[in-house]
Amino acid sequence: MSTVEEIQSALAGLSPEELHRFCEWFENFHADLWDRQFEGDVKAGKLEGLADRAIRDFRPGRCTEL
């Protein structure tokens, strides 16, 4: 059995309260991973092209207010 299958099996056996606690923990865990990846991408300059394009579109008014 793979680790993923073991995790799926363990989750299936949780009570509703335990599953809720796990979901809250996993949501925070996943958000932290995403934040670290985003911060790494910013430091590596991977978003510079997107920022430059946004500025080029903003200056002549090619944007929509949110």
- Structure confidence by residue, pLDDT tens digits, 8-54: 999 999 999 999 999 999 999 999 999 999 999 999 999 999 989 99
Q: What is the pLDDT of residues 53-64, one digit of tens each?
A: 999 999 998 888
Tokens found for residue 37: 């990846």
Query: In this predicted structure, what is the pLDDT of residue 64?
Result: 84
Structure confidence at residue 63 (pLDDT) = 85
Containing 65, the helix (H) or strand (E) segment is none
Q: Is the pLDDT of residue 65 over 90?
A: no
Domain range list for the chain: 16-66
Closest CA to 20 of 33, 31, 11, 29: 11
Residue 46 DSSP label: T
